[in-house]
Amino acid sequence: MAQKHVTKSKPAKSKSAKSVSANSKSAKAVTSKLRKSKGAAAAQSPSGKKKPTTRKFPASTVGRSSKKVHAKKVKVVKDNAKKATPKSGGTVKRVMAHKNVPSLVGHSVTNLRLEATGGREVSLADYLGQLVVLYFYPKDNTPGCTMESQDFSRLSREFSAAGAVVLGCSRDSVKSHESFKAKYNLGFDLLSDPSESFCRSFHVIQMKSLYGRQFEGVERSTFVVSREGVVLKEWRQVKVAGHAEEVLNYIRTST
């Protein structure tokens, strides 16, 4: 009996298997290309790293840009320092809270005598029977103090018509006051209090801070003193703009 020869057929590969095979070959080809490119780059540089390219500039321009930047930075620092100095009043801050300063309204004023412009010695007792507008300011010839003094001087006739005398006071010397008064043609006298005794009697010497440094200075303040020598009104931490007008309005309407 003859035996039949049976040939076994190989099972057909699935489409997914073919796809995986093709992807594998593609990945091998890409890997091979990357290896070749890395080898070429390594051959160009002895250390195996690509050398960074450097851009050359003319010798005359080297460092010019950095100098400009440095100059701008220096200018900004100087401008900020000017704004923050006590002279301009920029960023000087008061340390003590305003609520800790006792009110002087209703209290009699001191009778201390001070040197004043015009070669005189002045006491508030000399002005009994008149209203007195007494303003304290930090320093002669500084922007805020100059503006405030000019505002009071501009309205000096109106204050006089309302029956009030204007006096300014700071820790500056009489010599400084005389120069300040003449320079801006101020229409009233300035009191000199280098010992701070008069200023302290009105609690206007306060702790301030600048660049983290604490120091004592005059807080810009104004007081209206009655004809009997009693404080009627006080303004502390004064903002210069419109302040003289506000004081005049108070004199006209409340005294």
User: What are the C-alpha distances in Å from 67 to residues 11, 71, 74, 75?
Assistant: 79, 6, 10, 12
- The number of beta carbons lying within 10 Å of the beta carbon of residue 36 is 10
d(CA 113, CA 120): 10
Residue 145 known to be catalytic: yes
Please identify which of the residues 145, 199, 205, 238 carries the catalytic annotation. Answer: 145
Radius of gyration of the chain (CA): 42
User: What are the C-alpha distances in Å from 91 to residues 37, 144, 237, 239?
Assistant: 62, 13, 14, 14
d(CA 41, CA 194): 80
DSSP β-bridge partners for residue 224: 133, 233
Tell the residue number behind the tokens 């604490």, with chain if given. 214
Contact yes or no for 152/167 (Cβ under 8 A): no
- Give the catalytic positions in this structure: 145
